[in-house]
Amino acid sequence: MSRHRAVRNLTRDDFDDDFDDDYDARLVQAMLELREIVGDDFDDAELEETLLYYDYSVVKAVRWLLDGVDPDAEPAPKPKAAAPAQKKPAAAAAAAAAAASTAQAQSKNLNKGNAPGTSSPAKSAATTPKKGSGNNSKKNAGSSSSGATTVQAPLNVMQELTAGVKDMRVAAAANSAAASGATTPEPAAPAVSKKRVDIAAEYAQRAAHLNLVMVGHVDAGKSTLTGHLLYQAGVVDDRQMRAYHRDAAKAGKGSFSYAWVMDQNEQERARGVTIDVGVTHLTTPSGRKVTFLDAPGHRDFVPNMIGGAAQADVAVLVVDATPGQVEMGLSEGQTREHLLLVKSLGIPRIVVAVNKMDHPMVNWSRAHFERVRTLLASFMAGIGYNVESHVVFVPTSALAGENLTQRLPHGHVARAWYADQPCLLDVLDTLPIPTRPILKPLRMLVTDSTKGGMASGSVTVWGRIEQGSTQIGDSVMLMPLGQDATVRHIEVKDEAVKWAAAGDHVMVSLAGPDPQQLSAGLVLCARDAPVPVTNRVEAKILVFEPKVPITMGYPVILHQGTLNEPAKNPRVLTKGLDRAR
């Protein structure tokens, strides 16, 4: 790009002495980034002009070009100049260019003697960018309750507390920002662009998607079951599986070879326990997409398990059918703890895989299966599950791969009592798919992040979209940082996509945010409807079997996705006995 090129009415020669190579490099970099996002619908001059206007901010330029929204617009009484061009008349473009010139000059302290009337940068409300924005603006303003500092409505269950906690965490970090004047940003005018994907329409065409979390006591067989299921479903091919068998046997862990499909890191394999939540996907025979979150069963990793369960629609509880194991898991083990957590997180349905049915002490005995079913059903009913309608029991052998993706074959020892009944995959294929709030403003809880990504100068975040949707080019915001960002790349199930919606586990590359400030627990929000910031959460808490009285000052840890924070000054407002339902 030429260094002295005229940009419509804005000519660099006007202040050539003050442009240096640094500025050229910034412009070239910004041009490249902007081009990557907006595609070929705008010519170089338009991109350059917009970037100059917005002081090289790619995020703002995208906002203007794709959404038709001036990100710097304020409700000023008298517009002083137009925002930069989005296919607009030459006169307006000239005004914008002049304004850009002024803004640029000011930003570099050029003090070139600006013409009267253009002495302030043209960052006031300039043009009404696109039709329809007014109505949406009102709608969004109502739904975002900007500036709220207290979550007012008492919430019904602990699942709601978790939602509230998001705000609390947001507030905790925002408090420091508030000291420097930062507050919950005002909702900006929403965007409507002809280039945008109609996500609601595309979503209606898309295959159903279900998120499952595998929970249960340590060694019940969660990873083996998930790994074997993936192998039988063809997600893991024969060659890969042979390598797992070979490597596991070499390490003296032959019985864990299917678990190695899920337990990928060295520590997990050496210890024979899951530590991190493994995420995998398969497509069922009916075409629905299922995401598996393989949670750790060991008590040391319960916070990781909560992080996984918080992202799930349904829990698959894996229990060891060998004598004494269910009793143990239910008395002090993680079967009990996981069930309580799953219930408190609001997961409405449970599929129980009564596993290790092949074990010589069980040998696919109906009596063992029924014993396990009775014990668990009684416990689950006690914590509020409607076992009849919301819990399904399936006998399985994860190790032998029986009753996972195929029903028990003729001649199988259990056919006398389980003939032609559903295998695990059949059950997963018929579970109801929850309704997703895709039309609400974007909320994605960041569970992990890194500097860099699929495009230069970006950061990458992972998480599940809780509500709303996003697409490439979207203006978004990381809260509570209040940092603007532009969506540059999206992956769902390891595939690049143009958009993603509520329920999707996504990897999103963003242009704009400061990589140093990234952390789990941030919320990626719609720019025009950011999540409100608060430092108080009022919640109704579901308490299971309290062992000590809960009083003022009782220490409370709040879990939000992968983030765990002690609550400050917890106070009990009202007490009441209300059985869990």
Positions that interact with ligand GTP (CB under 6 A): 216, 218-224, 255-256, 259, 273-274, 296-298, 318, 355-356, 358-359, 397-399
> Can you tell me which residue has the tokens 């013409």?
115
Q: Between 359 and 443, name the residue whose CB sits nearer to ligand GTP.
A: 359
Q: Between 189 and 414, name the residue whose CB sits nearer to ligand GTP.
A: 414
In three-state secondary structure terms, 424 is: helix
CB 257 to ligand GTP: min, Å: 8
Q: Between 221 and 308, name the residue whose CB sits nearer to ligand GTP.
A: 221
CB 375 to ligand GTP: min, Å: 18
Asked if residue 311 lies in contact with residue 347, where contact means CB atoms within 8 angstroms, the answer is no
The structure tokens listed for 130 are 């696109």
Q: How are beta strands 289-294 and 209-215 bridged, if at all?
A: parallel
Q: Which residue is nearest to ligand GTP (CB)?
A: 297
Q: Between 134 and 254, name the residue whose CB sits nearer to ligand GTP.
A: 254
Asked if residue 228 lies in contact with residue 404, where contact means CB atoms within 8 angstroms, the answer is yes
CB 379 to ligand GTP: min, Å: 19
What DSSP string runs through 262-284?
A: H--SHHHHHHTS--SPEEEEEE-
Phi-psi region of 366 (alpha: psi -120 to 50; beta: other; left: phi over 0): alpha
Rounded to whole angstroms, the Cα distance separating 365 from 394 reads: 13
Beta bridge partners of 290: 210, 282
Phi-psi region of 420 (alpha: psi -120 to 50; beta: other; left: phi over 0): left
CB 174 to ligand GTP: min, Å: 36
Q: Between 142 and 303, name the residue whose CB sits nearer to ligand GTP.
A: 303
CB 220 to ligand GTP: min, Å: 4
CB 431 to ligand GTP: min, Å: 21
Q: Between 49 and 219, name the residue whose CB sits nearer to ligand GTP.
A: 219
SS (H, E, C) 471-535: ECCCEEEEECCCEEEEEEEEEECCEEECEEECCCEEEEEEECCCHHHCCCCCEEEECCECCCCCC
Asked if residue 247 lies in contact with residue 260, where contact means CB atoms within 8 angstroms, the answer is yes
CB 292 to ligand GTP: min, Å: 12
Q: Between 288 and 298, name the residue whose CB sits nearer to ligand GTP.
A: 298
